[in-house]
Structure 1
Amino acid sequence: MRELSLHILDVVQNSLGAKASVIEINIEENIKKDLLIIEIKDNGSGMDEKMTKKVMDPFFTTRTTRKVGLGIPLFVHAAKSCGGDFKIQSEKGKGTAIEASFVLSHIDRAPIGSMADTMVSLVAMRPDVDFVYRHCVGDQVFILDTQEIKKTLQEVPLNNPMVLDWIKRFIEDNLKEINGGA
């Protein structure tokens, strides 16, 4: 995948398939340590140890529409080919957490891409799910919490086009700010 945001979208779709109602997406860009960490946690159905190992295999999928499942293996490859690592922890009935790390300055590291588009797609698709997106660049932090937005909007659905447009601008503006206004 050309952008890391697409890997995030793929993993979150797995979380949604596991019936998660709360999904946390954490991105940390640590310039001093030259490290990028992407963490995705959910409260979905989780997996046992055997299944957790199987999802790392590109020739395994739970889908019936095809015989390969490349999402996680491609994310693993992206991290490891850029001097990073990949970890997955899951517990049946409790949820799953994945962490992909990258050398931030690695020449082959894909760009993060449009997290605004990724988050808007997720919220539009599943306004019933609570998404918490946290992005940290150095000591600057931005958080989008859809549960807080729902409280403010009350009866207005999150997938209302005007709300989605506001969410996109809110993310873009805040990412620009934590990246030094660039």
Structure 2
Amino acid sequence: MKELSLHILDVTQNSIRANAKLVNLTIFESIAKNEFTITIEDDGCGISAEKLQNVTDPFVTTRTTRKVGLGLSLFKAAAETCGGYFEISSELGVGTKVVASFMRDHIDRVPLGNMPDTVVTMVMSFEETDLIYEHNYNNRSFVFNTREIKETLEVTSLNEPDILHWIREFIRDGLEEIMEEE
């Protein structure tokens, strides 16, 4: 995939299919440590120990509409190609955690992509699932939490054009703020 945000979308869609009620997305970037790590954790139905053993095999999928599942295997390959690692852990009835870590300055690391649009796409597709997105950049942090926004606006859904536009701008401004030069 040409952007890491596409991997994020793929994994979070798996969370939705697993009936997650909450998805935690954390991105950690450190220039000093040369690290770029994406962690996606959900409280969905989880993956059995048997399936977890070969979940990154491209010819293994739980979906019945096709016989291949390239998402996790491509995400794993992207991390490992860039001097990083990929881990997935899961427990039935508890949830799943995916961690992909990259050397931040590796020449083959694809860009993160457009996170404001990615988060808006996630919010639009999540329906009843909530999202907490935290982005840490060189010890500065930005947090987006759909539960807080729903509570503040006193709504159950964020799928209104004005709200989605505000979310996009809020994330764009928040990321710009933590990434601006000191």
Measured against the shorter chain, the TM-score band is: over 0.9
- Counterpart amino acid of 1:14? N
Provide the residue aligned with 2:33 in structure 1: 33
How far apart in 2 are the matches of 1:55 and 1:123? 26
Shift of 1:55: 1.3
How far apart in 2 are the matches of 1:23 and 1:97? 10
How far apart in 2 are the matches of 1:157 and 1:75? 30
How far apart in 2 are the matches of 1:129 and 1:166? 19
| Corresponding residue pairs, total | 182
Shift of 1:156: 6.5
Shift of 1:118: 1.0
- Counterpart amino acid of 1:128? E
Residue-by-residue CA offset, 1:132-164 (whole Å, 9 max, x unaligned): 000000111000000000001103630011000
How far apart in 2 are the matches of 1:24 and 1:45? 15
- Scaled by the length of structure 1, the TM-score of the pair is 0.97
1:131 aligns with 2:128: no
How far apart in 2 are the matches of 1:91 and 1:55? 13
Q: How does 1:22-61 map to 2 (within 5 A)?
A: 22-61=22-61
How far apart in 2 are the matches of 1:155 and 1:10? 27
Provide the residue aligned with 1:166 in structure 2: 166
Provide the residue aligned with 1:103 in structure 2: 103
- Scaled by the length of structure 2, the TM-score of the pair is 0.97
Provide the residue aligned with 1:119 in structure 2: 119
Residue-by-residue CA offset, 1:22-53 (whole Å, 9 max, x unaligned): 00000000111100010000000001211112
- Counterpart amino acid of 2:99? E
- Supply the RMSD in Å over aligned alpha carbons: 1.3
Q: Which runs of 5+ in 2 are unaligned?
A: none
Q: Percent identity?
A: 49
Shift of 1:63: 1.3
Provide the residue aligned with 1:65 in structure 2: 65
Distance 1:96 1:76, change over 3 A: same
